[in-house]
Structure 1
């Protein structure tokens, strides 16, 4: 059991949390609920972590006609990449890199909907405590406008596999696994229908954790699976007191996966499968055998893996199902998925920071690749004052653009009550302020020009164009299309 103390000690709640303890809720600017959690059982008694539970509320699993997800991997503090493709280890440069990419993720997650952020493993370099703390300090910068899990975690070889019997008392693997258990159990407890392949109980003198630690959830029409390192990985390790410590028995996820995919198909869901390693499994024959059969027969429409830091985007197929590398946060690379449910199309865009590196679009029923139409630019005239007065900033944006207004138009003032003229809208156009809820978004398709004489007021828009807004109008720093 653990006890949860709300600020000022006003409320006490007791609940079970997987045998993991010493969990501290860190204070961040993004977190609303600054409660402190103290687990008093011994399952993960040496692991300090953050639950991030205050980020999760509301119906974050509701569906939308176009469902957007972000997928990446390998933040791996303190490793970073140079422009020439070489890499090194250095904490100050890594922190700067993470701040830049998390700021961008924050912008991508702004708007009126919750957008999941999936991280496919290698959250650390060695599972050391300072690396784990640094990751937690950076990931809060990626919070979006709407409530839901801050991120959806996965485990990689640098988190646990590399560290078994290679770190004092197996503390590195233990802490990485306990982080994952605590984060996933928190998501499970505050969400609907989350399946988690994990159990913990006292067996003799030991506390024993069992399972693959794989998990899954639904969001709208989509079923999302996280398999961690890879589905055939197994390991058995002990930590703590030689007689009465804690044991982790990590099993293959294949049996759990078969049941999970079968159930998702029965619910009518399409599925994406995430993992860290796509090749060189402990039993690689399973990948092209049983795993391929499960993928083929259960409406799996994409496989996403990290591990190879310089790979990004589509790398092949398993049967007919496309396989993608999800990039590496340390290299500022990531994927954006757009599920168009009305037309049964999945578009996977590859990015390095804000630079669009490629697109792969296909039908999720036939897997036929769709030739993308020529990019349609939108023309924007942004005025610093209302009624189209003051300083003018003109721009043409192609889909996927994320631009800093002060870089497009140096000296352009950021102030409330600006005005806007837009020509040729063919997708979401958003003005945002990173790290805040302040945004104004225009959606739809309109070949002509529409005008917004004051961004503070609710605009009158032509048929086919809708508007959402969050926060207050203090002017805007970025424009995304």
Structure 2
């Protein structure tokens, strides 16, 4: 999807070289939270958010002390991609029709090239220990033939330690728009099946009886990689919907989905991350145009500022890779799409004080553009 032209871009900052994260820091290490990067919209956003912060979170939390949580090592970097969206192509981004055989072949090639590039970047830092997050729109419509291409392609190149969320093309757009809601159903089940045994916590409860399985929750999940907590909110944190999939045949199993807001669950995660002194990276698909009302949107922004979230990553707008907006103590960055050959890198500094956000264009990570250098503590 193409973003309207009134979005905000950030300023460039010097390159900081990524290296091994030092797990032990002295107690006297400096503690400063990330500062917003200026934009012509920031003052308006910050003014509105500060009013909500005063009412929702009257106590100002002190800066985090460097800490960690869980048994996983802290990686040197993270890769953030989005929108493989098979079978999407540059012509699809421009609203142009293509013969399906040409479209499908080109989309497959673009996805393979992007994830081969990501695999090359990981290999340069030692291999699959570098986590990869894919922020939604895995396919165009959730059809079995589309999912049967994109997931094996990604698996072939990334092997392990990769995670994904759902975007509007995975479930929202397909409810009551595909036969038996199969596109939305199977996209949700793919997410559950891939992550349920990998992540630390998932906002999901499953209930079963003889002929029905019920799924209740936002499907959001969280993982701690030592000093870093990675949170995935799927399409957007206020999205809510109920849908079912099943046929009125004897002994036919039905699936009932109650997708809820992730805001309450998210606050628990942010509190815990703050308490442990972790760097907090929030992921979702749509950076704006949410279903929730103004109060829900303001609660989200106030919450992220209060608990000192360090960065937000999103997709959705294929042609708009880079800095999207700043809101108080954190900025939002877009990864673009496989069709536009863009993705993001988040690299940790040797001294544990900085996170450098880079944008990879033309799938060439060796010449990635530095977007921001965020002071973490």
Same fold (TM over 0.5): yes
Deviation at 1:87, TM superposition (A): 5.9
Name the SS for the 1:329 alignment partner: coil
- 1:345 and 1:361 in contact (8 A); partners too: no
- 1:68 and 1:336 in contact (8 A); partners too: yes
| Greater relative CO, 1 or 2 (CA 8 Å, sep 6+) | 2
Match of 1:422 in 2: none
Let me know the Cα RMSD of the aligned residues. Answer: 2.4
Deviation at 1:204, TM superposition (A): 8.3
Match of 1:354 in 2: 364
Structure 2 unaligned runs (5+)?
1-69
- 1:80 and 1:88 in contact (8 A); partners too: no
CA displacement, residues 166-224 of structure 1 (integer Å, 9 cap, x when unaligned): 11111110000000010111313xxxxx1100111126853211000000001120000
Distance 2:269 2:352 in 1: 26
Deviation at 1:288, TM superposition (A): 4.5
Match of 1:93 in 2: 106
Structure 1 unaligned runs (5+)?
1-58, 189-193, 367-481
Deviation beyond 4 Å, 4+ runs, structure 1? 82-89
Which residue, 177, 181, 200 being the options, matches 2:206? Answer: 200
Deviation at 1:287, TM superposition (A): 5.8
Larger radius of gyration: 1
CA displacement, residues 246-303 of structure 1 (integer Å, 9 cap, x when unaligned): 1000000001001111111112211010000010111152465111121012131001
CA displacement, residues 392-415 of structure 1 (integer Å, 9 cap, x when unaligned): xxxxxxxxxxxxxxxxxxxxxxxx
Report the CA distance shift for 1:362/1:307 in structure 2 as closer, same or farther (over 3 A): same
Report the CA distance shift for 1:268/1:125 in structure 2 as closer, same or farther (over 3 A): same
Match of 1:228 in 2: 234
Match of 2:287 in 1: 278
Name the SS for the 1:263 alignment partner: helix
- 1:79 and 1:88 in contact (8 A); partners too: no
Match of 1:133 in 2: 148
Match of 1:308 in 2: 317
Name the SS for the 1:109 alignment partner: helix
Which residue, 166, 176, 193 being the options, matches 2:177? Answer: 166
Report the CA distance shift for 1:289/1:316 in structure 2 as closer, same or farther (over 3 A): same
Report the CA distance shift for 1:82/1:301 in structure 2 as closer, same or farther (over 3 A): same
Report the CA distance shift for 1:233/1:310 in structure 2 as closer, same or farther (over 3 A): same
Q: How many residues were matched structurally?
A: 297
Report the CA distance shift for 1:362/1:288 in structure 2 as closer, same or farther (over 3 A): farther
CA displacement, residues 213-238 of structure 1 (integer Å, 9 cap, x when unaligned): 00000112000000000000011011
Report the CA distance shift for 1:325/1:107 in structure 2 as closer, same or farther (over 3 A): same
Report the CA distance shift for 1:185/1:288 in structure 2 as closer, same or farther (over 3 A): closer
- Structure whose residues are more often strand by fraction: 1
Q: Where do residues 394-405 of structure 1 align in structure 2 (5 Å cutoff)?
A: none
Distance 1:297 1:285 in 2: 18
Distance 1:288 1:240 in 2: 34
Name the SS for the 2:130 alignment partner: coil
Match of 2:54 in 1: none
